[in-house]
Amino acid sequence: MNEFRKKLYDIIEPRTKASKLSNIYDVSMIVIILLSFLPLMFRVESPPLRVIDIICVVIFCIDYVLRWMTADYRFEKPGASSFLRYPFSLMAIIDLLTILPSVIALNTAFRALRIMRLLRALRVLRVTKIVRYSKSAQMLKDVFYTQRYPLLVVMFLTAGYVFFSALVLFQVEPETFEDFIDAMYWSMVSLTTIGYGDIVPATDIGRVFTMISAMMGIAVVAIPAGIITAGYMDEIQKVRKNKDNNEDE
């Protein structure tokens, strides 16, 4: 039984040594994930779309159970603790959130509730499952993890500037901004240089801050892009180095 579960883990877990069965499984799951978005592209449900959703959910459930069965190999810790820990891991929670809406929707009593709209939207989280099966997405995930501290610094600086500029504009232009949320909204769209134009400062101070925010927006976009690009190049070099070492062996 343990040998069977180990072989099963080698197939379903992309981080293990690649094999034909593992590659087939990864590609198949990516196709199923993309196919599961098809019902979400239509507001009116039809029998074919419902069948597609049910098939995809059944496959997701099987994948969830298989990963739970092999949790001790994932955490490299034999015993019941691994099986108790798995449902609370990030990817397991995401898997469950993408499955439950479709399962609950089978009950017609829940369909009348407005909460079903939120549950339906949660199915969009299935796109995050691609990270598990795509090597490129997995590499990008590793980049974000490696560069998390510089990115967090940039994020906090950006949030601080958005709050500060919104606070200033909220005080100097009470006629333009009805509440602080409107000021925060203006600050964010100005900082990201989107500038929808639906909220426009009327005073000279407000316009100066708008220009400063637009200039700051260039740095806000450029700094994280540079960090991610540098990290991505480092990951590519690591992959190439590991590949060369494996070939030499």
pLDDT, residue 17, reads 55
DSSP string, 64-107: HHHHHHTHHHHTT--SHHHHHHGGGSHHHHHHHHHHHHHHHHTS
User: Which pLDDT belongs to residue 6?
Assistant: 83
∠ CA 91-94-99, nearest 5°, is 125
Kindly state the tokens that stand for 21: 């069965």
The answer to whether the beta carbons of residues 199 and 185 sit under 8 Å apart is yes
**Mapping DSSP to helix (H, G, I), strand (E, B) and coil, where does residue 46 land?**
coil
Domain boundaries, the chain: 2-133, 148-248
In terms of CATH architecture, what is 2-133?
Answer: Up-down Bundle (1.20)
Distances (CA, A) of 55 to 15, 35, 73, 230: 26, 10, 28, 41
Report the alpha-carbon distance of residue 172 to residue 60 in Å, rounded: 53
User: Counting runs of H as helices and runs of E as strands, what totals does the chain give?
Assistant: 13, 0
Q: What pLDDT score was predicted for residue 140?
A: 79
Residue bearing tokens 């099986």: 83
Buried b (16+ CB within 10 A) or exposed e, 106-122: eeeeeeeeeeeeebeee
Q: Which CATH architecture has domain 148-248?
A: Orthogonal Bundle (1.10)
Number of Cβ within 10 Å of residue 59's Cβ equals 16
* Residues 249, 209: Cα–Cα separation, whole Å: 60
Distance CA 94, CA 183 (A): 33
Give 10-residue mean pLDDT values along the chain (249 residues).
81 68 84 85 81 88 89 80 86 82 61 52 68 72 84 87 86 83 86 76 82 80 83 80 62
Q: Indicate whether this model's pTM tops 0.75.
A: no
Q: How far apart are CA 195 and CA 211, in angstroms?
A: 11
Q: Residue 106: name the closest of 63, 58, 66 by CA.
A: 58
Distance of CA 122 to the CA centre of its chain: 12
State the residue for tokens 């343990």.
Answer: 2
- In this prediction, residue 1 carries a pLDDT of 66
Residue 123 has a pLDDT of 65
pLDDT of residue 117: 54
The pLDDT assigned to 243 comes to 64
For residue 172, the model assigns a pLDDT of 83
Q: Name the residue among 48, 26, 27 with its Cα closest to residue 39.
A: 48
Question: In the chain, at which residue ranges do the beta strands (DSSP E only) sit?
Answer: none
